[in-house]
Amino acid sequence: MLPQILRRIHPAAGFLGFLTILTFWTSTVAVEALGSHQAILAVKTGILWGMIVLIPSLAVAGATGFKLAGPISKGPVAAKKRRMPFIAANGILILIPCAVALQRLAAAGDFGAIFYAVQAVELIAGATNIALMGLNIRDGFRMTRGRLAARVAA
């Protein structure tokens, strides 16, 4: 019973986290390429509010993932277990501080070299997390397919 609920919650939380960070990334690139300073501030403020969605969804995806995986540590599960601490550390140590700094600079109207340097770091860290989470989605589907195929064969 419990694994069935976790099997539903886990990919939902994972996808939500993935789509949230993808939205942060694409809206940042779009508004900085095309938008006014006021529009950039709006996006930067929206991203801070969006953390209310991103942080819990990643925590839930990670916790349910480790629970579903249990003690197994080989193949795609091992890869997913290895990636998750990077995803979390990247988020906590780089993405959140960058998002706070960028919102503050934008609110102060300071769009100088520091803003764009921090922005570059945030975009690279964000793209890294999008890629790592994409790999976790790919491996997740592989594992579910493998489990279902084994059940049909049995």
User: Residue 88 CB, nearest distance to ligand HEM (Å)?
Assistant: 9
Is residue 17 classed exposed, middle or buried when 0-12, 13-18 and 19+ CB atoms within 10 A define those classes? buried
- Which of 17, 24, 28, 115 is the binder for ligand HEM (CB under 6 A)? 17
Site string for ligand HEM, 109-138 (x = CB under 6 A): ------------------------x--xx-
Q: Does 35 bind ligand HEM (CB under 6 A)?
A: no
Write out the binding residues for ligand HEM, residues 63-102 only, by CB under 6 A: 65-66, 68-69, 77, 80-81, 84, 87
Size of site (CB under 6 A) for ligand HEM: 26
Nearest to 129 by CA among 42, 55, 72: 55
Between 14 and 31, name the residue whose CB sits nearer to ligand HEM: 14
- Which of 60, 61, 95, 98 is the binder for ligand HEM (CB under 6 A)? 61
Half-sphere exposure of 128 (CA within 13 A, CB side): 17
Between 40 and 77, name the residue whose CB sits nearer to ligand HEM: 77
Q: Under the rule (CB under 6 A), what is the footprint of ligand HEM?
A: 7, 10-11, 14, 17-18, 58, 61-62, 65-66, 68-69, 77, 80-81, 84, 87, 133, 136-137, 140-141, 143-144, 147
